[in-house]
Amino acid sequence: MVDFETMDPKEIIARRVSLEIRPKTLVNLGIGIPTLVSDHLDESLGVFFQSENGVVGLGHRPPEGMTDRHLTDAGGSFTSAVPGASIIDSAFSFGLIRGGHLDLTVLGGLQVDAKGHLANWMIPGKFVPGMGGAMDLVTGAKKVIVAMIHTAKGVSKIVPECTLPLTSQRRVNLIVTEMAVMAPLDDGLHLLETGPGYSVEEVIAATDAELVIKGDVPQMNLSLSV
């Protein structure tokens, strides 16, 4: 039995996000914590993972010594392909993303605000990695989940309004951190669940944005539903 209170915060986030993934869907996982999500997923669900560079059906890293530089993921790391996988060019790949064919994208974030706006591509004057495919993913995917650590150096990443440049004007659907699951809705940012070992008060104290709380807030259920 896994002890969720001592589990790595990143694994808690990845596991909670994995419970949002529906069978037989097309999913794009961003770099960092989102990449960990597939490890928590039952392969019998028949989910296909897409990467921006044109793989539909990413697999696990190949066995030692069997890597090939013609098959990599969106982070440039060696990958494999699952049975039934296909390869498309970059235009087709972003056609899937923008055209409403991608069921879910999971992305990391620098800031998310109470309106559900995400900022994750630059810190002006400090670090400018670029947006890569993030602007297309957030704009085009049917569902967007932000998966990130709740704070950075003790500062809340959940803010009243983003001060960093936005990735998209589209409202994300869900925000999952090690402390909370939150959903931005018309009347504000709802606290839906607390992370293992955190009270509602602790989540409120660690969050700069105002949280809408209705009734009792349950703890994350991290057990796989099967």
Partner 1 sequence: MHLAITLEEAVAMIPDGARVMLSGFMGVGTPDGLVHALAASGKKDLTMIVNDAARPDTGVGPLVTAGCVRKFIGSHIGVNPDVQEKMRSAEIEVELVPQGTLVERIRAAGMGLGGILTPTGLGTLIADGKQVIEVDGKPFLLEKPLRADFALIAARSCDYVGNLTYMLSATNFNPIMALAADVVIAEPEEIVPVGVIPPDAVKTPGILVDHVIKRTA
Q: Which residues bind partner 1 (CB under 8 A)?
A: 51-55, 68-76, 81, 87-91, 94, 97-98, 127-136, 139-140, 165-169
Residue among 19 and 82 whose Cβ is closer to partner 1: 82
Q: Which is nearer to partner 1, 93 or 177 (CB)?
A: 93
For the question of residue 11 being annotated catalytic, the response is no
To partner 1, the closest distance from the beta carbon of 197 in angstroms equals: 33
Q: 180-197 as b/e, with b when 16 or more CB fall inside 10 Å?
A: bbbbbeeebbebbbbbbe
Please say which residue, 168 or 207, places its beta carbon nearer to partner 1.
Answer: 168
**CA pair distance 175, 182, nearest whole angstrom:** 5
Q: Which residues pair with 104 in a beta bridge?
A: 27, 143
DSSP state of 33: H
Counting Cα atoms < 13 Å in the Cβ hemisphere of 219 gives 12
Nearest to 106 by CA among 50, 56, 53: 50
Give me the least distance between CB of 212 and partner 1, in Å please. 24
User: Of the two residues 74 and 182, which places its CB atom closer to partner 1 in the complex?
Assistant: 74
Residue tagged active-site, from 5, 52, 193, 201: 52
CB 48 within 8 A of CB 82: yes
SS3 at position 111: strand
* Nearest-approach distance from CB 140 to partner 1, in angstroms: 7
What string of DSSP letters covers 62-107? Answer: PPTT---TTSB-TTS-B--EEEEEEE--HHHHHHHHHTT---EEEE
Active site residues per annotation = 52
